[in-house]
Amino acid sequence: MPTTQPSALVAAPFAEVARLAAGQRVEVLMATYNNAPYLAAQMESLVAQTFQDFHLVVSDDCSTDGSVAVVEGYLDRFRHPVKMIRRDSQSGSAMANFASLMQQSTGDWVFLCDADDVWHPDKLKKFLRFAAEKHGNHDPEVPIFLYSDARVIGPDGALTHASYWSFKRTDPARCATLQRLLVCAPMLGCASMMNRTLVNLAANVPVGQVTGHDWWALLVAASLGSVDFMPEATIDYRVHPGNSSKPMQVSLRLIGRVGMKLSLARHEVHRRMVIRQKQAEPLLEQFSANLAPERRAIIRRFLDMSGQSPIGRKLTMLRHGYTYPDYIRNSALVLFY
């Protein structure tokens, strides 16, 4: 099983972070597309990072609103030259743009950066300290995915939720198995860090099959390596009408609105499970020969549920732990899947 146990941060001196990064490339990959209203705030938060020995790579997906000009206004404010990629044609989605960035990445530690968020000043330093504590002597062949909580803010930057995990009614400590990670992503890609090995393995993002490059990377790490989380917020995650991921708060009110029409609820539960099974298929297609037998069996059993009777699906789901970390979504799963 992947490692997903919480760990208190050790107050390591900054020199420890410097030693971790010495001789290694820390890389921040930012995908932009018509983010001008929020982009300056994100760029300011990158400039303000207490750990400045990082390389920023920006890929603009043919913006028409001045996003490129915003980025260019900050090019001389970073320790290392910023690599600015101006695409000749649109990638088709934020996921595809990030996939392209991952394929071009050369970093030893890689961060994904959404253009509309705001990073806390010590985000990079905290992640590097956490990596030093948990994986300071890690096998470089093991793919590693680390993530943190986030605060949720509105379009105007006002705080709406102190915890993204609370907003989504998820608990990383209860997402400690590959089974549960196949069903529920407890993280945000913009509040995560990957090592070189994971980026190499996950860069071939099956864009037409997965819901996100970040969830895909998480599943690759959970299937082949290690996943861990840092129990504190490191960014302000901005929720606004233009979000590509369309984040929605998990609440009884939301479930209640859907539950008013049972046929709609049943359809929605099945639709979501089909999506999750579809994005699990590439794990076997790309990595079957590298998977430990027990992890291969977990993925295969998850895929095989679609061909079972309703009772058989429920038994498999409950017996083997293909569930959410909260009772609200699990109730819908048991009732309608």
- Give pLDDT, residue 319: 96
- Give pLDDT, residue 2: 43
- Give pLDDT, residue 17: 55
Which range (4-8, 266-270, 286-290) has the least confidence?
4-8
Q: Are 211 and 244 in contact (CB under 8 A)?
A: no
What average pLDDT does this structure show over 208-227?
97
- Give pLDDT, residue 19: 62
**131-160: pLDDT as tens digits:** 999 887 778 899 999 999 999 999 999 999
Tokens of 164: 């993204």
| pLDDT confidence bin for 15, thresholds 50/70/90 | low
Domains, the chain, in order of start with CATH, read: 14-238 (3.90.550.10), 252-336 (no CATH)
- Give pLDDT, residue 10: 38
| pLDDT confidence bin for 31, thresholds 50/70/90 | very high
Q: What's the mean per-residue pLDDT of the chain?
A: 90
Type of residue at 38: Y
What average pLDDT does this structure show over 18-23?
65
What residues contact 211, with CB distance under 8 A and at least 6 apart? 275, 279
pTM of the predicted model, to two decimals?
0.90
What residues contact 286, with CB distance under 8 A and at least 6 apart? 204, 206
Give the gyration radius of the chain's Cα atoms.
20
Which range (53-57, 209-213, 241-245) has the least confidence?
241-245
Residue 168 has pLDDT above 60, yes or no: yes
Strand ranges (E), 154-280: 159-161, 192-195, 226-238
Q: How far is CA 147 from CA 3, 81, 191, 193, 254, in A?
A: 12, 26, 6, 6, 27
Residue 259 has pLDDT above 60, yes or no: no
- In angstroms, how far is CA 307 from the centroid of its own chain? 29
- Give pLDDT, residue 243: 67
d(CA 123, CA 151): 13
